[in-house]
Structure 1
Amino acid sequence: MSLHDRFAEVRSGLQLRMRGARSEIVTDPEPEWATGFHRIQDDLRQRRPVARTERFGGAWLGTRYEDVSATAHDAECFSSRAFVVGNVRPPLGAAPVGVLPPASSDLPFHRGARRLLSSAFSRASVARLEPVTRAYCHGLIDALAGRDQVEAVSEYTQLIPTHLMVTLLGFPEQDAPRVQHFATSTLQDVNVSAETRSDRAGERLTYLPAQIHDHLDHPRDDLTTRVLEAELNGRELDPLHVYGTLAALLVADIDTTASAIGAALLHLATTPADRARLVAESALLPTAEEELLRAHAPVMTARPVTRDMRWRDADMKAEDWVLMSFPSANRDPAEFDRADNRHVAFGLGIHRCIGAHLGQMELRVALEVRLERFPEFSLPDPSTVTWTAGQVRGPKTLPIHIGPAAPAGGQA
């Protein structure tokens, strides 16, 4: 069977697996979960550190650092075969590969699947992307010249990681809005019905195989071609592995990075002293970036429970979800000393984000360019800020007031 024929089976195979998934309809999380996120989790950390929530289709929520860390490192009790919680349960038997490898892979398969991508996200590879990222950020700022108010999410924070991922994967630049929608809907729409979720996933099942076929016909120097040409244990990758890896890269980078940049901008827009100090002392930005990641970590990831058990005074059942709240773990006073910021914004254990260097670079460059070009910006009306309410928490809308744009100084 040719590669084209093998990849032609991807869509039908995935659709069958989705139709077989267990589902239930739940209501959207109340707005308080988004706006009072840290207050709620601070309270839970004190009263009931492993609590039960009916949000996200029902899940256990770990809020202490020690419990989050234990979950991340215990592959026997908590599988990695799915990490996006919701009302569609992961299919049984998906491990060790999972539907979005390597993020959804258990050991020992995970080790080789992750190694296939590590060079693309190494510190050296990311450094080569920095001039392109900086130039793109300057271009976005140029487009805002002459205005006194901008919507920072749709006009800046979301565009940066989407552009970079489209470039890395070798997808058409004009497809960036479509790719962005794939990423945000996966993580933000966890409480829609199974039918709606399936329909939205169907858009990916059309788009990604088409890109795969195009790369098979026209190989080029990009990450998609490298994944297609890769071998694992002496064999070419299964088509579902290729599809799942590309889908995982879209899910894992775009919405998470945009949320981190947005939360950082919101902090600086509402804390003038911090913003003024970073403008005056730009050398402090790397340290500030790490503290912003600790204080405003955007991501919670999920693990399915492998068996019925009592864990941390919670009676868990096989196939229950456990959510690891890295944002709450980062604020656990029992673990963190401000002088030693060992934050877990990028996760823990074997699934620590493979794109950590990329996300850190995007955040740093986005802030550097913003502060260089718009050293003065503020939030006129806090009530206009809305938040995402899924596993990734960040500003969904962020209208900020800006002063005149300074000319680009060190534009690459």
Structure 2
Amino acid sequence: MTVDDRFSQDFREARGDEPYGTRNEIITGPVSDWATDFSHVEPEWAADPYPIQDDLRQRCPIAHTGRFGGGWLPTRYEDVAAIAYDTERFSSRSIIMSNFRPPRELAPVGGTPPISSDPPFHHDARKLLLPAFTKSAVAKREAATRAFCHELIDALEGQEVVDAAADYAQHIPMRVISDMLGFPPEDGPRFREFIENALEGVNLPPEERIKRMGQLFDYLLAQIRDHVDHPRDDLTTYLINAELYGRKLAPDHVAGTMALLLIAGIDTTWSAIGASLWHLARTPADRERLVAEPGLLPTAMEELLRVYAPVTMARLVKEDMRWNGVDMKADDWVLLSFPAANRDPAQFERAGEVVIDRQVNRHVAFGLGIHRCVGSHLARMELRVALEVWLQRIPAFTLADPSAVTWAAGQVRGPRTLPLRLG
């Protein structure tokens, strides 16, 4: 069998042509009580989830909802950490809480390995990716990333008001990830559509969601075929040729990992860059200090990651059980809110404040346990370079209209529109 045959055969499951999993009633609308009816896709959550999380941490630290077929939301650091480390009782086979669940048979691989994989498969799938994300591998991408940031700011010249999310933040990880995977850089607008479908379209009817995900996997299959015909030194060719347990990776494994890198690798960093610029635009003292003390940026960056951590991950309960005082049912969702954990006053002094020179900062913006972000070195490099170049080139900026800032709804939160006035 040729490599092309291998990636044409049995690709139906990877593309998502066939509906699978448990379907649930679609439930949206105002929340009656966040302790018993939470919904992470509502506008007020997207706009400002932190007061909601702080309230829950005090009166109901493990909130419940009947939406999406039932789920739980721990808001204390210790609970989030305990679940993140507990792979015996919680499965990662689906990490996006939505209105349908992948079947249990999808474990231990999941649809987007290794983030959707359970032990013992997870360890070996993750190990395949490590060489591409070491500090030394990431360092080789810094010069190109810096040059691209300068190009983006060059294009803003002469404008009084710019959208820092759409015109700057989103493009940086799009270019970095497309270069790593060997995708055409001009396909960036398509990546944004794929991201919004995957992360913000969780309440669509299952048939529509599967159709939209199918568009992503059709794109990935086209890229795989192009790489089969024209191999080059990039991550896609590496995955096509990689072996696990003495065999080439299954087509759905290759496509799922590519989907993970494309979506998670872009949206999380885009969100972190945007949130950091939002904070600096509305906090002149912090912005002016970083302009005056550029050496403080790495420390400040970690604090911005803590306070504005973009990522919440989901788990599925494996079996009925009583856990920390609540009765969890098999296949209940659990939302691991790393943003809520990062603002727990039991873990951090002045937890709700941004302290840009905070010295002890063991935040969990990149997750905890076996699924801690494999691309954390890459994300940190992109965030640092993006902020360094922006502050160097545009040292003075403010929010043009605070009410015009919009935030993504769902499990990755960051500014989607960010109008800044320059100068």
8 A Cα contact 1:11 1:205, kept in partner: no
Distance 2:152 2:347 in 1: 39
Structure 2 length normalisation: TM-score?
0.92
Structure 1 unmatched ranges of 5 or more: 404-412
C-alpha distance in 2 between matches for 1:140 and 1:173: 14
The partner residue of 2:316 within 304, 307, 316 is 304
Deviations 1:127-174 (A, max 9, x none): 110001000000000000000000111101111101110010001112
Distance 1:322 1:164 in 2: 31
**Identity of counterpart residues, as a percentage?**
59
> 2:75 touches 2:341 (CA, 8 Å); kept in 1?
yes
SS at match of 1:101: coil
The answer to whether the Cα contact below 8 Å between 2:318 and 2:331 also exists between their aligned partners in 1 is yes
Equivalent in the alignment of 2:258: 246
8 Å contact from structure 1 (residues 26, 57) kept in 2: no
Partners of 2:68 and 2:311 lie apart in 1 by 14
Distance (whole Å) between structure 2 residues aligned to residue 347 and residue 302 of structure 1 = 11
> Distance between the aligned counterparts of 1:377 and 1:288, measured in 2?
18
Query: What letter corresponds to residue 19 of structure 1 in structure 2?
Result: P
Aligned to 1:174: 186
Residue 389, structure 1, aligned to residue 409, structure 2: yes
Residue 345 of structure 1 is matched in structure 2 by 365
Give the secondary-structure state (helix, strand or coil) at the position aligned to 2:162: strand
Cα distance in structure 1, aligned partners of 2:56 and 2:275: 22
Tell me if structure 2 keeps the 8 A contact 1:96–1:107. Answer: yes
Equivalent residues in 2 for 1:321-332, closer than 5 Å: 321-332=333-344
- 2:19 matches 1:22: no
The residue that corresponds to 1:13 in the other structure is: 13
Displacement after TM superposition at 1:93 (Å) = 1.1
Assess, with a 3 A threshold, how the Cα gap between structure 1 residues 376 and 10 changes in structure 2: closer, same or farther: farther
Q: For residue 76 of structure 2, what is the amino acid of its counterpart?
A: R
Structure 2 SS opposite 1:138 = helix
SS at match of 1:61: strand
Aligned residue number for residue 31 of structure 1: 43
1:333 alignment partner, SS class: coil
Q: Would you say 1:359 and 2:371 are equivalent positions?
A: no
Structure 2, unaligned runs of 5 or more? 30-40, 350-357
Could you tell me whether the CA contact under 8 Å between 2:14 and 2:256 is conserved in 1?
no
2:84 match = 72
1:57·1:191 contact (CA, 8 Å) conserved in 2?
Answer: no
Q: Name the stretch that deviates more: 55-64 or 297-306.
A: 55-64
Code of the aligned partner of 1:76: E
Deviation at 1:11, TM superposition (A): 3.5
Task: Please state how far the C-alpha of 1:320 moved relative to its aligned partner.
Answer: 0.8
CA–CA separation in structure 1 for the residues paired with 2:383 and 2:171: 12
1:363–1:16 distance in 2 versus 1, CA, 3 Å? closer
Could you list the runs of 4 or more consecutive aligned residues of structure 1 that deviate by over 6 angstroms after TM superposition? none
1:235 aligns with 2:247: yes
For 1:183-202, what aligned pairs fall within 5 Å after superposition? 183-202=195-214
Q: C-alpha displacement at 1:185, in angstroms?
A: 2.2
Letter in 2 for 1:243: A
1:326-357 CA-to-partner distances (Å, cap 9, x unmatched) read: 00100111112454100000000010000000
Contact 1:57 1:85 in 2 (8 A): no
Question: AA paired with 1:198?
Answer: I
Give yes or no for the alignment of 1:215 onto 2:227: yes
* Alpha-carbon separation, structure 2, partners of 1:10 and 1:150: 46
Q: 1:10 to 1:175 in 2, by over 3 A?
A: farther
Q: Residue type of the partner of 1:390? A: G
Aligned residues: 403
Letter matched to residue 141 of structure 1? I
Work out the CA distance in 2 between the residues paired with 1:377 and 1:55. Answer: 41
By how many angstroms is 1:62 displaced?
1.1
Residues 170-222 of structure 1: CA deviation (Å, up to 9, x unaligned): 01112121123212321122122212211210111211011111111111000
Seen in structure 2, the aligned counterparts of structure 1 residues 18 and 387 have a Cα distance that, compared at 3 Å, is farther
Please, what is the CA RMSD of the aligned residues? 1.4
SS of residue in 2 equivalent to 1:323: strand
Give the equivalent residue in structure 2 for 1:406: none
Displacement after TM superposition at 1:54 (Å)? 4.7
